Chain A
Amino acid sequence: MAYSDKVIDHYSNPRNVGTLDKSKRNVGTGLVGAPECGDVMRLQIEVDETTNTITDAKFKTFGCGSAIASSSLATEWLKGKTIDEALSIDNMEIVEELALPPVKIHCSVLAEDAIKSAISDYRVKNGLPALEESKAHH
């Protein structure tokens, strides 16, 4: 399979690989995908509660190059965004940025899902209702 230069770059030099302390109240964790499906993404955000801004984002992904690149890109985009801005990230933006082929669109869907799942976790921790069902579940 031919990967775009951007996918190869994110795969070779992934940004923000790591783990945040999930016990902290201002850290939201999203774990999406399943090992049998060949992709598991864990995306975490740390939020400044006064400004509602994402100050840090980390990921770990078990998956193909496109899945790794999608989650790596997502963490890059999340930093500095407000929660509302983060919620507006659409998987098709990831597809465009990384030039993902049609068979890899699900990787971007999973990344969007991971973002929403992390935000949902953060909301629940802070007494807000969870977000609705995400895109990938069907």
Chain B
Amino acid sequence: MLNVAQYHVAYGQSEVLHGLDFTVAPGEIIAIMGRNGMGKTTLMKSLMGIVPTKDGAAAVDGVDITSMQSYERVANGIAYVPQGRMIFPTMTVQENIETGLSISGRSKVPGDIYELFPVLLDMKGRRGGNLSGGQQQQLAIARALATNPKVLLLDEPTEGIQPSIIREMARVLRRIRDERDLSIVVSEQVLSFALDVADRVLVLENGRLVHDEPRDSVDEEKVAAFLSV
């Protein structure tokens, strides 16, 4: 569903990602692990068209998106939940979700989104900025799902969220995958969450993928060694 080939990304002259190759199958959840500064967020941002790609290609469902603007990528089925959630603080919960509908031209929030996150239905008239961190995270996911994506990117969704809600989030992500059959890419530093949610675990180290293994055969200690500082 998502094909990334020989993917190079640079900030000016300093190259951060040195030629990544990976594919995500339809309905697969992959976790990209790595310490701070290894390029996880850069990868997410460049897939979303926020940071330009230097070389290589990315394709969603066979359509090359490498040179598209952000909103065109969304139209081609890629959605993004950024680090720090980045909801629109002065807009209501409902309006936040509705921004995701811009691309499809629908005007009503589909009921299944509120079904996934009932708390958002209770708070739909509140301003996004007044929600708690966990609620904002749910809102950011709901907003991304409103674009009806084929591939969902989540950048460190567990950051700043209490442990009980992290477990709940892994369950919700698997449920979203099962119901909508979409591919999910999660970048993560928390190993337990990654093992909870992912079918496959990749490790990003200094801008290169150094490890790629299905969940079932993952050697926890080996991956943990990559993450330890």
A complexed with B? no
| Chain A residues engaging chain B, CB cutoff 8 angstroms | none
| Chain B residues engaging chain A, CB cutoff 8 angstroms | none
